[in-house]
Structure 1
Amino acid sequence: MREDAFENLIAWCPLLERLTLMNFEGFSHLKLKAPNLQFFDIGGDFEDVTFVDTKVLSIVSIGLYISVESDFSARQKGTSNLLKFFSCLHHIQRLEVQSYFLKYLALGNVPARLPVKYLELNYLSMRINFNDTKENKAACCLFRSSPNLTELEMLALPDDESNARLGSKFWEENNHIESVFQNLRVVRLADIAGIRPELDFMKFLLANAPVLEKLTIKPASVDGEFGLLKELLRYRRASVQAEVIYLDA
């Protein structure tokens, strides 16, 4: 099926409320026009996704199975994928950014925050490479644009050894950002290796979440678990009731 035929098929179903596309491939660009779509779940290999007339879409789970290539990144200079992606998601409540999709969102000039606040977004899950400054910046943009976020899940994406040695100092250099995590209550961090950018984010999180109730951390392996736990105990907590739960690898 051609891309335009698939897009027309969706457009010709104006009452469509739920759409799941698993192992989606063969199309480089996906454009969705679905005025009644409320739930959208996609995972696959594609270059671009655009929402058109999806103003009631509230639950989105999206995964890009292959990493964004450098030549594709070069074609995206100056254009913010974050701005384009959220332009028709006015009532988003739950968002899952899986696999390499955060790298896609980080292409172009990442803004400090989105033009409007997404007041209904209360749950956010993302797979992130903490060593990638642009991915951290994109994540921070989402945090600043979601003031009513109550639940956050972040899964660390392993990096190659060369980038891992360099690391990112984004969270260390931005250790306090006003009005971030003001309503955040539950956080889960998984596949944590204990590298410095991950620890910097945890320090940032604990210092800027005044009503945090529970932080659950699951390391990627047993190596260095004691050192990671010892480091966590030193961090200042904005919430006096914050409970840190450390799971076995």
Structure 2
Amino acid sequence: MNFKKIAAVLSMAGATVFSGAAFADPSITNLDGTKTPFGGFDWASGSAAWTSNFDVLHSNTFTLNYVGWATAVTATNGNPLTQLYQFDNSADGIANSLLQSLGLGGSYEYTVVATLQEQIISCDATFTSCKFQVTGGSFDIYYDTTANANSTSATWTGFNDGTKILSGSFNSGAITDFQNTTGGQANLTGQVTYTNNTYINPNLVSTNVTSTLQLGTAVTNFTAPTSVDGNSVGAGQIVFQADANQTFSSKVPEPASLALVGLALGGVGFVARRRK
């Protein structure tokens, strides 16, 4: 076999490694141990979102704030890796211990705190239906070994007191419709800018979020907050019941795959030297 044929074979081998190689499955570590393949979080349907500086008559930009807790840690296929349960005071310690003994993740929690910058594109004459566009934003996700996020009263607490495990930013999104009576839905993409490798490995790269905001008759089992972790929800602002699913991806080749690529490329160099 001449040099050109050998080089072609080795190049194809390298390409095969990149295209068909297994990528390292993300893992997540908590009090239940290390689980894989980690894919994301199912944020609770009773989470909250609220506006800041929303004044449709005088400004076309505002901030949307979001906090929530996870009801499940999900696998890459969307199925739950672990179901999670929210408790709102320390008196539930016995229930937490029982759930942990059953492997149901009762004694810890994951919470998310996010902000989105939004732009009002247009509204109808009565301002009951408007078009909005997310222009950017950021998120932080916390792991807390005490499940203390409290949303049962108007004073919400316990959403940012854990260990930060993930942070990231959101891209501009598509223009979406929101109705004053029912709310609406948004789909967002973004980048992960920080991964705490004590809890999640390898580093995550990107994220996708689908979120639904509910108003009026669409709201169920929800106590709207007047403050969250000591920060007041401004008077005259809009408070939504929020639901969301967030997924993550990591495209880091496994060491074995990189080694095979190195062997393939090294082989090309070796053949070239022998030919000379």
TM-score normalized with structure 2 length:
0.20
Greater RCO (CA < 8 Å, at least 6 residues apart): 2
Q: From the two aligned structures, give the one with the greater strand fraction.
A: 2
TM-score normalized with structure 1 length:
0.21
Q: From the two aligned structures, give the one with the greater helix fraction.
A: 1
